A and B are shown apart, each in its own frame.
Chain A
Amino acid sequence: NAGVTQTPKFRVLKTGQSMTLLCAQDMNHEYMYWYRQDPGMGLRLIHYSVGEGTTAKGEVPDGYNVSRLKKQNFLLGLESAAPSQTSVYFCASSYPQEQFFGPGTRLTVL
């Protein structure tokens, strides 16, 4: 099993551009999460999903949208990227208490 995978691994955007980060899990987990990690801030929850077709806001949802059309995939979208969204983004899945993380996407917004 691959576990939790994320694409892309790295991305550089210009301010105002849009992009989608893809998270996939092959563990048949119901719950999926998107976090961002910034120096000195730890991991902060952006959005999460408790099952296919559901999404909910986390601690820092502004500027992001998500979709969970298939149980195994959780997409994170940035409609108009801002420099404040420069960060490392992690996806996780769980069934239900223990969360397993992907390798991360390092995003830089210029």
Chain B
Amino acid sequence: GQQLNQSPQSMFIQEGEDVSMNCTSSSIFNTWLWYKQDPGEGPVLLIALYKAGELTSNGRLTAQFGITRKDSFLNISASIPSDVGIYFCAGQLSGSNYKLTFGKGTLLTVNP
């Protein structure tokens, strides 16, 4: 099946620092989604991207749909302790019945 390479696998940062993570693929996607999962909970949608080059913000979060349509980036500015969790990227291929291919996640730890 399709694979998304998400990096880094984990990050340990200090409160107030900015964070960047990304996903890359050999396939072209027509939609990119970013989710956050807290321990014991289901993934929660953070940002959805629909056009190549699109840059979308949600509070301190900013995500971009890569120009090649094979990658996406998520940035978190001025991190706070509640940003702790696992962040997943997910992509949708054209004609896939809106099925998502997920990255394996980035575990973010924020040190107060």
Among A41, A42, A50, A104, the residue within 8 A (CB) of B97 is: A50
Q: Which residues of chain B have a CB within 8 Å of any CB of chain A?
A: 1, 31, 33, 35, 40-45, 48, 50, 88, 90, 92, 97-100, 102-105
Can you identify 25 A-B contacts, CB atoms within 8 angstroms?
A31-B97, A33-B99, A33-B100, A40-B104, A42-B103, A42-B104, A42-B105, A43-B88, A48-B97, A50-B97, A56-B97, A58-B99, A59-B1, A92-B42, A97-B33, A97-B50, A97-B98, A98-B33, A98-B48, A99-B33, A99-B100, A100-B45, A103-B41, A104-B40, A104-B41
- Asked whether A97 lies within 8 Å of B48 as measured between CB atoms, the reply is yes
Assuming the A-B contacts A56-B97, A99-B33, are A42 and B43 also in contact, with contact meaning beta carbons closer than 8 angstroms in the complex? no
User: How far, in whole Å, are A90 and B43 apart by their CA atoms in the complex?
Assistant: 9
- Asked whether B88 lies within 8 Å of A99 as measured between CB atoms, the reply is no
Q: Write the chain B residue with the least CB distance to A48.
A: B99
- Asked whether A101 lies within 8 Å of B44 as measured between CB atoms, the reply is yes
